[in-house]
């Protein structure tokens, strides 16, 4: 069932064929029902006219014979027999049954006895409603009925039928009697069944033909689309030389031509961007390496000046201290640039081992305590009371957490910073929560961009390079983990690092929430 639903969602051809067949089936059904209705009405109307004419002829013959008989010649009972027996005899050969009811006005019904009828016929086949209409003198009338028999009646099977009633007067007693003629609709029913089977057969064949035609037409349209999809997937996979085969001059051929032109332009632009990116990475790497030698010389000179600053004038001593500070920052920037170039070149590797994130959180809190004291901020660790283990590179994980904490110190505005640690059998996580300026809408995604700052005018006491969070994100991806940010203006921010317990395991959830529990509901 799942594969069938997947095929239905992904196959335009299947949906087109199914929709065409369903609509065609609805049309065929409506047309078939209309034809069946017209055929049934035509057969029934023709049969009604026929049986009424035949019944009236029988009644007219009976009236002529009765008119030729003198009323004193025979008694009423004998005259009834002489009337009904010839009709019953002719009915056996013509396929109808006859019933002669008691005299009109006596209040009797066929169910009360006294009627003369074709042997084997159940008199309940004559509806009560028709009997009621002939309790007084009335013209010829008919209705539909359900013929029932007590034994086989020649030419009159059980089932739907028509009953026609006419009245005659016997000269013997000068009373009016009702003659009922019962005709079967079995032939019409068989004809309708035959027509119905023919319509179903023809409709089924027509639907199969429509389905085949729809499949062929849809295939002509869908096949080029599928080819375009495959080529697009190969282009997305990096096979930029893939192109569609163009045949003909129709709209699909023009679409393929446009697609190939677009692919060629994209290939050209992507190669230009790749070359530009390669040159940029090489430039960053070369500059970073080339700067290390002069930086080492400048560092040596700066260390000498910094060590001898006590004998300098106050202005010169301050300059030596500023030189030492900027050299430290320059070295950090250079180290970050080298690390970024290793990520860009794909040369970064992991030295994985089982790491307890609780220990990592405490070590980072200890190493950043001096920086936090300068900003009148406390870094507090909230651990679950048990080890939270993950297979990771401890150096890179500590660098990630340290970057998050120093970033929080820069923006905490002298409020406490909390390091939360959590873990379960599938993953482990560290979250750094501050209550400072927070992040504006959309900034939680941009905060990991290289050299991006939420507020460029703010001073940074940690001397950051603007690459810390970018390097942290690359370190996280190297572990197959998540590094996510949440923030709201005036309510601070929270950064969450989630790592799988094992490097080969995919992440599905985090043991810590991204939105802090103390965050206010948005207005």
pLDDT tens column, 21-67? 999 999 999 999 999 999 999 999 999 999 999 999 999 998 888 88
Tokens coding 39? 């055929």
The β-bridge partners of 155 are none
| pLDDT score recorded for residue 459 | 46
Question: Highest-confidence range of 171-180, 287-296, 486-495, by mean pLDDT?
Answer: 486-495
Using 50, 70 and 90 to split pLDDT, how confident is the model at 499?
very high
The CATH number for 17-191, chosen from 3.40.50.300, 3.30.450.20, 1.10.3720.10, 1.20.1740.10, is 3.30.450.20
| pLDDT score recorded for residue 183 | 93
Place of tokens 């395991």: 505
Which of 25-29, 158-162, 337-341 shows the lowest mean pLDDT across its residues? 337-341
Task: Tell me the mean pLDDT in the region 466-489.
Answer: 87
Task: Tell me the mean pLDDT in the region 297-322.
Answer: 84
Backbone angles phi, psi at 421, to 5 degrees: -125, 140
Has residue 155 got a pLDDT over 90?
no
| pLDDT score recorded for residue 460 | 47
Has residue 523 got a pLDDT over 60?
no
Helix, strand, coil percentages, rounded to 5, for the chain: 55, 15, 30
Return d(Cα 22, Cα 17) in angstroms, integer.
Answer: 9
Higher local confidence (pLDDT), 386 or 344: 386
Inter-residue contact 419 to 405 (CB < 8 Å)? yes
Q: What percent of the chain is modeled with pLDDT above 70?
A: 91
389: which residues sit within 8 A by CB, 6+ positions away? 354, 355, 356, 357, 423, 428, 501
Higher local confidence (pLDDT), 72 or 253: 253
CATH numeric code, 251-345: 1.10.287.130
Q: Nearest 5°: CA angle at 391, between 390 and 392?
A: 100
Topology adopted by domain 353-500: Heat Shock Protein 90 (3.30.565)
Using 50, 70 and 90 to split pLDDT, how confident is the model at 73?
low
| Residue 149 burial (C-beta neighbours within 10 Å; 0-12, 13-18, 19+) | middle
Domain boundaries, the chain: 17-191, 251-345, 353-500
Q: Model pTM?
A: 0.50
| pLDDT score recorded for residue 74 | 60
Mean pLDDT of the chain: 85
Tokens coding 128? 């009560």
Return d(Cα 223, Cα 256) in angstroms, integer.
Answer: 12
Using 50, 70 and 90 to split pLDDT, how confident is the model at 72?
low
Has residue 332 got a pLDDT over 80?
no
């Amino acid at each position: 069932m799942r594969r069938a639903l997947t095929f239905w969602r992904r196959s335009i051809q299947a949906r087109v064929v199914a929709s065409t067949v369903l609509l065609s089936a609805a049309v065929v059904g409506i047309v078939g029902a209309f034809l069946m209705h017209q055929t049934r009405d035509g057969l029934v109307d023709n049969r009604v006219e026929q049986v009424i004419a035949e019944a009236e002829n029988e009644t007219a013959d009976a009236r002529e014979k009765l008119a030729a008989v003198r009323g004193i010649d025979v008694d009423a009972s004998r005259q009834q027999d002489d009337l009904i027996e010839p009709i019953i005899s002719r009915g056996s050969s013509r396929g109808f049954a006859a019933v002669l009811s008691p005299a009109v006005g006596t209040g009797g019904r066929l169910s009360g006895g006294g009627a003369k009828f074709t042997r084997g016929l159940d008199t309940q086949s004559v509806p009560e409603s028709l009997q009621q209409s002939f309790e007084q003198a009335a013209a010829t009338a008919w209705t539909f009925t359900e013929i029932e028999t007590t034994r086989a009646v020649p030419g009159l099977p059980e089932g739907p039928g028509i009953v026609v009633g006419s009245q005659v007067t016997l000269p013997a007693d000068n009373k009016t009697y009702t003659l009922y003629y019962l005709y079967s609709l079995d032939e019409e029913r068989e004809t309708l069944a035959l027509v119905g089977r023919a319509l179903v057969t023809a409709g089924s064949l027509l639907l199969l033909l429509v389905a085949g035609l729809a499949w062929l037409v849809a295939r002509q349209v869908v096949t080029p689309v599928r080819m375009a999809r495959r080529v697009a997937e190969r282009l997305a996979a990096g096979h930029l030389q893939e192109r569609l085969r163009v045949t003909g001059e129709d709209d699909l051929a023009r679409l393929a031509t446009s697609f190939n032109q677009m692919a060629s332009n994209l290939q050209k632009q992507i190669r230009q961007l790749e070359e530009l990116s390669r040159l940029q990475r090489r430039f960053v790497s070369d500059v970073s390496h080339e700067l290390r030698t002069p930086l080492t010389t400048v560092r040596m000179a700066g260390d000498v000046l910094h060590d001898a600053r006590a004998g300098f004038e106050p202005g010169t001593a301050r300059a030596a201290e500023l030189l030492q500070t900027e050299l430290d920052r320059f070295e950090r920037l250079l180290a970050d640039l080298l690390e970024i170039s290793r990520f860009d070149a794909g040369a970064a590797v992991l030295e994985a081992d089982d790491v307890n994130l609780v220990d990592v959180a405490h070590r980072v809190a200890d190493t950043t305590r001096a920086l936090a004291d300068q900003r009148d901020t406390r870094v507090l660790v909230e651990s679950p009371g048990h080890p939270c283990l993950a297979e990771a590179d401890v150096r890179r994980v500590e660098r990630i957490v340290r970057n998050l904490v120093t970033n929080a110190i820069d923006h905490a505005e002298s409020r406490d910073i909390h390091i939360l640690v959590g873990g379960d059998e599938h993953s482990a996580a560290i979250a750094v929560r501050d209550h400072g300026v927070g992040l504006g809408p959309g900034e939680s995604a941009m905060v990991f961009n290289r050299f991006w700052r939420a507020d460029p005018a703010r001073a940074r006491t940690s001397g950051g390079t603007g690459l810390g969070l970018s390097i942290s994100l690359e370190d996280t991806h190297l572990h197959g983990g998540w590094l996510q940010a949440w923030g709201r203006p005036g309510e601070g921010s929270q950064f969450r690092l989630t790592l799988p317990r094992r490097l080969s395991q995919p992440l599905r959830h985090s043991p810590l929430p991204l939105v802090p529990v103390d965050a206010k509901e948005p207005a």
